[in-house]
Amino acid sequence: MNRKYWVLGLAVFLFTNQSKVQSQVNIVSSSVPFLRVSPDPRAGAMGDAGLALSPDANATFWNGAKTVFAQSQSQLSLNYTPWLKDVAPDVYLMTLGGYGKLNDNQAIFGGVSYFNLGQMTLTGLQGEVLQNTRPREFSIEGGFAQKINEVFSAAATFRYINSNLATGAVNGSVYKAGTAFAADASVFYSNLDENGAGLNGALSISNLGSKISYTNDPNSKQFLPANIGLGVANTWALDELSKITATINFNHLLVPVYPTGSDTSASDYKAAVANYYNTGAFEGIAKSFSNKSYAASFGGEYSYNNQFFARAGYYWETKEAGNRKYFTAGVGIKYSAFDINFSYLAPSGSGLSRNPLSNTLRFGVIFDLAAFANGSGDSE
C-alpha cells in the first residue's frame, strides 16, 4: 500500500479526533468509525437507512429490538464490503450476524464485524522503514430482545471492540491495540396487517461505553462513535404480489467537538485539548448535543412476490459530520432459504472528500435456518 495512503489512513483511523479542516469547519469525529459503516447491502442500497426496515439477520447491526417481529424463527447473514477498492484492494469490512427467536415474545441475537486495513509499511521522517503491519479492527456483540406488547419491543446489546492499528515503538511513541466495551439500547414499533403493509418505527442509541486508547498515556483516550438514530418505514401493498416501502432515518453523533486553536491563545488551546481528553465518555455525550453532526438518509424498496427486490436511496449529512452526499441503488433476490442482496454507491467527491465506498459493489447473503429445516423457502 502506498505510503501516502498510510498517512491518510492513520489520520482517519488513529488520530481521527484531530482530523479537522480548521479554517472552514470542525468535523465531529471519533475512534473506530467502522462501527458506523452500513454493514448490509439491503440498507446500503436504501441510503444506509436500516433502522426501521423489516427485521432480518442484520438487525443486530441496526436495531436488535426488531428481531422479535421477524417472520422466520432464525436467520444468519454474511456481508462483504470493499473499502477504498480503487486504492487498496485488500481493505474490506466483513460482518456475520444472526438471531434466534426463543418464543413469540423473546429473541437473542449477535454479530461479528471485522475491518481489515490491508498491508501497510510504516516509515520514519527520512523514509526509512520502521515496520510492516496489518492494521485491523473487530467487534463482537450479542443481545436480548423482548416484546412489550403487540406493537412495541425493546432490546439491549453488549459489544466488545478491539482496534489494532499499530503496535510497538513508532517515531518515539509506543502503540498498542485499543480495546473498549459498549452497549446499545433500542426500541421498535411495528403495526403491519396480514399483507405486511403498515408502519414501522425505531429508536436506537448505540455505542455507549468506555473510551479507547492506543498508548499508555491516560490523557489520549478517544471517544467511541456513540450515536442516536430515529427511523420510520411505511409499506404499501400495491396488489396481491407487489409492495413498496419508503423509509427515512435521522442520526446525530453523540461525540463532543474537538477544540480548535482559532481565536484562542496557545495556553488556552492546550488547556482545551487536555480538557477534551480528560472528559469522561458520558460527560462527552452530554456535551455532544451542542455539535452539528447530523445525517439523514432516505430509501425505497419495491418487492414482487416477496422474491424480487429493487432498491434506491440517498444519504445526506452536515459539513460537521463529514459532508458526504450520495445516491445508492441495489437489487435482491430470494431463492429457497437464501436472500442474496447487492448494492452500489454512486461516485461522490474527489481527493480527500471522496467517499471510500464510491464505485463499490457490496454483497450479502441471508440464510433462513427455519426455511432450510422445513425443506422449503417458506419461513413460517
Average pLDDT over residues 31-50: 94
Predicted confidence (pLDDT) at residue 350 exceeds the cutoff of 60: no
* pLDDT, tens digit (0-9, with 9 covering 90-100), for 285-299: 999 988 999 999 999
Q: What percent of the chain has pLDDT over 90?
A: 58
Close Cβ partners of 234 (under 8 Å, ≥ 6 residues apart): 198, 199, 200, 245, 246, 247
Average pLDDT over residues 98-127: 87
**Of the candidates 115, 110, 116, which has an alpha carbon nearest to the alpha carbon of residue 140?**
110
Predicted confidence (pLDDT) at residue 351 exceeds the cutoff of 60: no
Predicted confidence (pLDDT) at residue 380 exceeds the cutoff of 70: no
264 vs 95 pLDDT, higher one: 95
Predicted confidence (pLDDT) at residue 13 exceeds the cutoff of 60: no
368 vs 4 pLDDT, higher one: 368
* pLDDT, tens digit (0-9, with 9 covering 90-100), for 216-236: 877 788 999 999 999 999 999
Average pLDDT, whole number, for the chain? Answer: 86
The separation between CA 335 and the C-alpha centre of its own chain, rounded to angstroms, equals: 27
End-to-end CA distance of the chain: 48
CA distance 298 to 277: 35
Predicted confidence (pLDDT) at residue 10 exceeds the cutoff of 70: no
When mean pLDDT is compared across 91-95, 137-141, 183-187, 246-250, the lowest value belongs to: 91-95
For residue 241, what pLDDT is reported? 93
pTM for this one?
0.86
- Bridge partners (DSSP) of residue 106 are 146
Predicted confidence (pLDDT) at residue 208 exceeds the cutoff of 70: yes
For residue 90, what pLDDT is reported? 79
For residue 70, what pLDDT is reported? 95
Average pLDDT over residues 260-287: 82
Q: What angle do CA 245, 251, 252 make, to 5 degrees?
A: 170
CA distance 164 to 153: 36
Fold adopted by 3-374:
Porin (2.40.160)
For residue 8, what pLDDT is reported? 37
Confidence band (pLDDT; 50, 70, 90) for 376? low
Average pLDDT over residues 240-246: 96
Range 272-296 burial, b when 16+ CB lie within 10 A, else e: ebeebbebebeebbeebeebebebe
* pLDDT, tens digit (0-9, with 9 covering 90-100), for 300-321: 999 999 999 999 999 999 988 8
Close Cβ partners of 54 (under 8 Å, ≥ 6 residues apart): 66, 69, 196, 200, 233, 235, 245
For residue 18, what pLDDT is reported? 39
The one-letter code for the residue type at 99 is Y
Length of the chain: 380
Three-class DSSP category at 27? coil
Three-class DSSP category at 275? helix
Average pLDDT over residues 316-340: 92
Confidence band (pLDDT; 50, 70, 90) for 2? very low
By the 8 A CB rule, do 99 and 59 touch?
Answer: yes
- Bridge partners (DSSP) of residue 93 are 81, 115
349 vs 59 pLDDT, higher one: 59
CA distance 72 to 193: 17
CA distance 314 to 4: 31
By the 8 A CB rule, do 114 and 134 touch?
Answer: no
For residue 379, what pLDDT is reported? 43
For residue 348, what pLDDT is reported? 63
Predicted confidence (pLDDT) at residue 4 exceeds the cutoff of 50: no
Three-class DSSP category at 374? helix
What is the Cβ-side half-sphere exposure of residue 80, based on CA atoms within 13 angstroms?
9
DSSP alpha helix (H) spans, the chain: 3-13, 41-45, 266-278, 281-288, 369-374
